Amino acid sequence: MVLAQGNPLPAEKAFRFSARLLDAQTVEARFYIAEGYYLYRDRVHFAVEPASAGLSVPPLPSGKVKEDQFFGRVETYRGDVVVNLALIGAKPGEQVVIAAESQGCADIGLCYPPTVQRVTLALPEGSVVPKVQGEGARKPWLN
Amino acid sequence: MGHRIRSTILLAVAGALALAGGIWLAVWDQAKPSSDALFALQLPDTAGVKQPLSQWRGKVVVVNFWATWCEPCREEMPEFVRAQTELGPRGVQFVGIAVDQADRVGRFAKELNLNYPALIGGYDAMELSRALGNVLVALPFTVVIDRHGRVVQTHLGPMRPQQLRSIMKDIL
C-alpha cells in the first residue's frame, strides 16, 4: 500500500489521553497531542461511567481559531490540553471510568474518526488520593 | 559430460527459480486484498436509497473513503470530479463512501457539484477499509480496482493528481 508521507501514528498515540485525581472530586484530564497533529475543540467530549458519578465539565480552553471552508470558524488544539473535571456524585472508594472522545487530524493530510479512550480511576476511601490505576484499552472508534 | 552437468545445473537452477517465483507469486497474491467484500456492500446514498456496489463491477472503480470533517479529503475531491468527467466515458467510476452524516454529505456534494455517488458508510465501511489495508482507519483512503475486480492500488492520505493519472494510465 502507498502511505501518506512519513509514518503516521495511530489515533491513540497521536492524541494520547491520561487522567489523574487531584483530589477526591477533581480529575485532571489531559491530551498529549503529538507534534504535527491537532484536535478539534468542539469534538472533545468527556463522560464518566457509571453516570451516577456525575461528571461536570467546565468550558474547554480556547483553541487556535481557524476558518474552515465548510464548517466556518473552528478551534484547534496542539501540544497539551488540560481540563479539570469535577465528579459531583461519586462515592468514596468508588471506581470510575473517564471516557474521553476526540477527533483530529495530522498535518500530512490525514484525519482520524472520533476515538474514545478510557482511564479507570479508584476514588479514595477517605482523603488520601491514590495513584492512577492505569490507562484503559482504547475502544474502537464509533463507540 | 561437462555439457550434461551444466544442463543439469541449469535445469536445477531454473526449477528453483520457478519454485521461488511460484511461492513469491502466491505470497503476493495473498497480500493483495480482495474486492469481493467491497462489491458485496450495499450503502445508502444521501437520499437514503440503498446502492449495491456490485452495480459498478466490471468498471475501473475508484472507491474513496472520506468525510466532511476531513479537510484533506475535501481538498482532493475536486480532482476526482475532474477525473470522473474525463475518464467516465472510458469506463472509470468513482464512488465516495462518507463516514459521516447524510445531510452534511448532501450539502457538501451539492457545493462541489459532485458528479459521482456519495454513499454513507458507518462502522462496517471503516472496518472494510481496514481489511483493505487501512490499518490506521484514517481518512482519506482510496482503493483502485481494475475491470477484473483486482485491487491494484490502495492509498492512505490525499492522492496527488499525477499519482492518480499514472495509475489510470497503467490500467486503462
What is the tens place of the pLDDT at every residue in B108-120? Answer: 999 999 999 999 9
Partner-chain residue, chosen from A108, A109, A141, that has the shortest CB–CB distance to B137 = A141
DSSP-derived 3-state class of residue B26: helix
* Confidence bin at B121 (pLDDT 50/70/90): very high
Q: Which residue has the cell 477517605?
A: A126
pLDDT per residue as tens digits for the range A54-101: 999 999 999 999 999 899 999 999 999 999 999 999 999 999 999 999
Nearest-CA distance A142 → chain B (Å): 7
pLDDT per residue as tens digits for the range B5-45: 565 555 555 555 554 444 444 444 445 678 999 999 999 99
Under a CB-based contact definition with an 8 Å cutoff, are residues A80 and A31 in contact? yes
Residues of A in contact with B125 (CB under 8 A): none
This prediction's pTM: 0.81
Domains and CATH numbers, chain A: 11-122 (2.60.40.1250)
For residue B162, give the nearest of B91, B59, B83 by alpha carbon. B83
Would you state the cell numbers that stand for residue B84, as one nine-digit string? 470522473
CA distance A65 to A42: 12
Domain spans in chain B, listed from the N-terminal domain onward: 1-31, 36-171
Partner-chain residue, chosen from A8, A43, A68, that has the shortest CB–CB distance to B138 = A8
Under a CB-based contact definition with an 8 Å cutoff, are residues A52 and A100 in contact? no
Would you state the cell numbers that stand for residue A107, as one nine-digit string? 498535518
Give domain B36-171's CATH architecture. 3-Layer(aba) Sandwich (3.40)
Closest residue in A to B140 (Cα–Cα): A110
Is pLDDT of A139 > 90? no
Chain B touched by A102 (CB under 8 Å) = no
| Pick from A7-11, A63-67, A124-128: least confident | A124-128
Q: What one-character DSSP code corresponds to residue B150?
A: B
Would you state the cell numbers that stand for residue B133, as one nine-digit string? 489495508
Chain A touched by B131 (CB under 8 Å) = no
**Could you give the angle at which helices B102-112 and B71-87 cross, rounded to 10 degrees?**
50
**Residues of chain B numbered 20-79 and touching chain A (CB < 8 Å):** 67-75
